[in-house]
Amino acid sequence: MVAALIALAADQWVKHLFLEGYTLKGACVSLILTFNRGVAFSMLAFLGPWLKWLQALLLAGLTLYVVAGGYLRRYAVPAGLLLGAGFSNLLDRFLHGGVVDYVSWHCGFEFAVFNLADVLIDLAVAWLLWASFKNK
């Protein structure tokens, strides 16, 4: 669970910087505060405040699955990163009404705005997939 706490703390710290007004505009990547009221690419934003409860239910189920299935022992770091980052984004929904995003890619095409937690979730999923295939 150390990985979960580190992921949560690091992500919340970086988000705090942007909530306090940090911005940086670049040619291909800009760092600017936005709030995502949906999930990836703002999907499901129409659920409004119900989305945070759906995400809370999904994270609770995932946590139970990881702990009860013994995956926390076997995949401690990637499972911790996944849970910590997920709970960090959930915390944003309760505190700010949406997920605090700040990395905007706009070099050649517009890409979704994302944050450190999103990167950690992607990394954790890739790590878990790689580890599960490697162990078979």
What are 72-130's pLDDT values in tens digits?
788 999 999 999 999 999 999 999 999 999 999 888 877 789 999 999 999 999 999 99
Q: Degrees (nearest 5) of the Cα angle 22, 45, 91?
A: 50
Q: Cβ–Cβ contacts within 10 Å for residue 134, how many?
A: 7
Give the residue carrying structure tokens 């669970």: 1
Contact at 8 Å (CB) between 99 and 93?
yes
For the segment 64-71, the average pLDDT, to the nearest whole number, is 85
Please tell me the distance from the alpha carbon of residue 75 to that of residue 132, in angstroms, as a whole number.
9
- Which of 56, 59, 79, 77 is closest to 69 using CA atoms? 79
Q: Which two tokens stand for residue 100?
A: 């605090």
- Which of 49, 57, 60 is closest to 98 using CA atoms? 49
Catalytic (active site) residue 118: yes
Better-scored residue on pLDDT, 44 or 29: 29
Contact at 8 Å (CB) between 90 and 82?
no
Please tell me the distance from the alpha carbon of residue 122 to that of residue 35, in angstroms, as a whole number.
19
Q: How confident is the model at residue 30 (pLDDT cuts 50, 70, 90)?
A: very high
Q: Which two tokens stand for residue 67?
A: 């702990």
Please tell me the distance from the alpha carbon of residue 115 to that of residue 124, in angstroms, as a whole number.
14
The residue ranges of every structural domain in the chain are 2-22+30-40+55-128
Q: The whole model's pTM is what?
A: 0.90
Q: Which two tokens stand for residue 122?
A: 């992607």
